[in-house]
Amino acid sequence: MDISLDIKKRKRKKISIFKIKRDTLVPYLFIMPWILGFFFFTLGPLLFSLVISFFDWPIIGNPTFIGLANYKEMFFEDPQFWKSLGITAKFAGIFVPLNISVALILALLLNNNVKGSGIFKTLFYMPSVISGVALAMIWGWVYSDEYGILNYFLSTIGIQGPNWLGDPNWATFAMVFASVWGQGTMMLIFLAGLKNIPKELYEAADIDGANVVSKFMYITLPMLSPTILFNVITSIIGAFQQLSLALLLTGGGPVGSTYFYAMYVYDNAFKYFKMGYSAANAWFMFLIILSLTLLVFKSSSMWVFYESEATIKKKKG
Amino acid sequence: MFKKNLKKTCVYIILIFFSLLFLAPFFWLLTTSVKGPEEVFLFPPKWIPTTWHFENFMKAWNLQPFNLFLKNSLIVVVLSTIGQVFSSSLVAFGFARFEFRGRNFLFMIVLATMMIPWDVTMIPLYMQFNFLGWINTLKPLIVPSYFGSAFFIFLLRQFLMGIPKDLDEAAKIDGANAFQIYWKIYLPLMKPALVLISVFNILGTWNDYLGPLIFLNDQRKYTLSLGLSQFKGMNGVDTTSMMAITTLICLPPLIMFFLAQKHIIDGVSSTGLKG
């Protein structure tokens, strides 16, 4: 069997070599727009941004090379850097679990063969198609301290609602709720993941007399873990890049309590015009996102269950 | 049987509860935008206005040059979508229908670029566009669309992989070259997928805020989203007008979503990403 595979591989290789000879340039012409775009709008800027980060680079005037001074300033001399990093971490710490849970709960509910699930899906996804500016406008008014609808609802059940956007203790939560509202995408991804779980597993569990909770714990969660992994990573990246809500809803306030890292980077570049310093901030964020993603991936072997892997193992054993 | 019905009922109750939760902000937006000034600031709030002031929309629209903003938005939306349709489909065709050296490696890079945070490239891009004299023009929002977008390339390639290759074999025998095969056979075949990426791109550019915020500074160049965001600063207390404009800006994406919802929902579910 191994030999026949080898021959097949060789044959395939021969064909591809032949093709390359015949139309060497044609495929590259087709992907040329992307190659050019990649150099001009992605790789070029990415590397250039690293270069800038070693300079004192004002918006007007000549840049001067200062080595690692921007990074030194960032880590040791700028308290706002750590503060903003902490604020973003706090936001991510609340946003990621809440977002995943809400999306998962909605998907589980919709996966119950309910009539009109299309309508519900549409309703839950609606906030995801409007612009971030509109979303901020809407929530700014929902959160209004005196006339807002949220505090009205809370008052009907006897709770005196806080000044959501004006109270440093509540502003982060306000941001989280508004963000979760606009995240219908995750629900759809979970739903697609749930639809892919083979029905036979549940049928077998039913025969064994398993209850809802154990079916969820031993079938749904493990089978869904790759989807959860994907959504966790996307949520983390999303949390770190959260900028428009902060700019529009609170402007970073009150007393800097929602001065997210992304806003800090933005302000350093376009408010204080410290291009070099801001580039250093941005690269640091890039590295954090990269390492968090890798970390989640690495840890995934402990909690993510891949069906294909399991079947391979079974066959081997 | 009773137990099953009970479970179904519970599911419905929770779903309806969540629906109301998700809809309430929209409802709040709509009712505020047609309220008279005397009914906006009331506590407890009035759900249905006593008189419906539809003239609020016209009034708010004329407070700022929103016609101009709309024109700018439309220019960006139309030109960038045309660019995405042709460039992304061309590149996707290249990746899906040829074998060439480095293909898989290059495609991995296409996918990897989706992970790069926007903040890292923002400053160099600003400098680059500044160098080209493009700051305060709509070009930075349009031109990059003519070089394909990683997400759209990925989506179209997936679609192309599902089409059998018999067609182009036949066309090759008839003497058609690669470009003719792309143009005459595959572009029409890709239509459903191209509609989907157009919808994503229209939503993305119509809703874009950070791009216009960074690259535009003259009010005459503003897009609608940016115009609305600045409107807040100028009319801090005029809640009715703000909500009226917000309603108007939300309408096109919502209408488009309702018309194309099946495609959008299927597209998002199968690829796991949003444009």
Q: Is A106's CB within 8 Å of B123's CB?
A: no
User: Does the CB of B132 have a partner CB in chain A at under 8 Å?
Assistant: no
Q: Record the tokens describing residue A252, joined without a space.
A: 């970073």
**What ipTM does this complex have?**
0.88
CA A103 to chain centre: 13
DSSP A221-282: HHHHHHHHHHHHHHHHHHHHT--HHIIIIITT-STTTT--HHHHHHHHHHTS-BHHHHHHHH
- Averaged pLDDT for residues B194-219: 93
- Residues A119-137 pLDDT 10s: 898 899 999 999 999 999 9
Residue A153 lies in a domain: yes
Q: Which residues pair with B24 in a beta bridge?
A: none
CA dihedral A156, A159, A160, A164 (to 10 degrees): -100
Residue A27 lies in a domain: no
Residue A24 lies in a domain: no
Residue B1 has pLDDT above 70, yes or no: no
Instruction: Specify the number of domains making up chain A.
Output: 1
Q: Which residues pair with A65 in a beta bridge?
A: A55
Mutate to test the interface with B, among A133, A156, A212 (most CBs of B within 10 A): A133
Listed as ranges, residues in chain A with pLDDT below 50 are 1-5, 7, 10, 13-20, 316-317
CATH of residue A87's domain is: 1.10.3720.10
What three-state secondary structure class fits B71? helix
- Averaged pLDDT for residues B118-146: 93
- Residues B153-189 pLDDT 10s: 998 998 888 888 777 777 777 778 888 889 988 899 8
Residue of A nearest to B183 (CA): A30
Residue B198 has pLDDT above 60, yes or no: yes
Q: Please tell me the least confidently modeled range out of A111-115, A308-312, B249-253, B263-267.
A: A308-312
Q: Is A133's CB within 8 Å of B228's CB?
A: yes
CB crowding B8-20: b at 16 or more within 10 Å, else e: eeebbeebeebbe
**A257 φ, ψ to 5°?**
-75, -15
Residue A309 lies in a domain: yes
Residue A135 lies in a domain: yes
B192: left (phi over 0), alpha (psi -120 to 50) or beta: alpha
* HEC string for B193-236: HHHHHHHHHHHHHHHCCHHHHHHCCCHHHCCHHHHHHHHHHHCC
| pTM of the predicted model as reported, rounded to 2 decimal places | 0.86
Residue A61 lies in a domain: no
Listed by start position, the domains of chain B span 2-53, 65-271
**B149 φ, ψ to 5°?**
-120, 140
CA dihedral A51, A57, A60, A62 (to 10 degrees): -80
Q: Record the tokens describing residue A81, joined without a space.
A: 């850097």
Instruction: Collect all residues of chain A within an 8 Å Cβ-Cβ radius of residue B214.
Output: 270
CA dihedral A67, A72, A77, A81 (to 10 degrees): 110
pLDDT at B273: 47
Q: Give the distance from residue A189's alpha carbon to the nearest chain B alpha carbon, in angstroms.
A: 5
User: Does the CB of B146 have a partner CB in chain A at under 8 Å?
Assistant: yes
CB-nearest to B91 from A31, A114, A129 is: A31
Q: Is B23's CB within 8 Å of A123's CB?
A: yes
pLDDT at B37: 79
CATH top-level class for B65-271?
mainly alpha
Q: Record the tokens describing residue B23, joined without a space.
A: 């809809």
pLDDT at B130: 92
CA dihedral B260, B261, B265, B268 (to 10 degrees): 40
Q: Are A145 and A164 in contact (CB under 8 A)?
A: yes
Provide the residue range defining the domain that includes A233: 79-316
Q: Are A121 and A188 in contact (CB under 8 A)?
A: yes
Q: Is A181's CB within 8 Å of B22's CB?
A: yes
C-alpha to C-alpha distance for B160 and B163, rounded to whole angstroms: 5
Residue B30 has pLDDT above 70, yes or no: yes
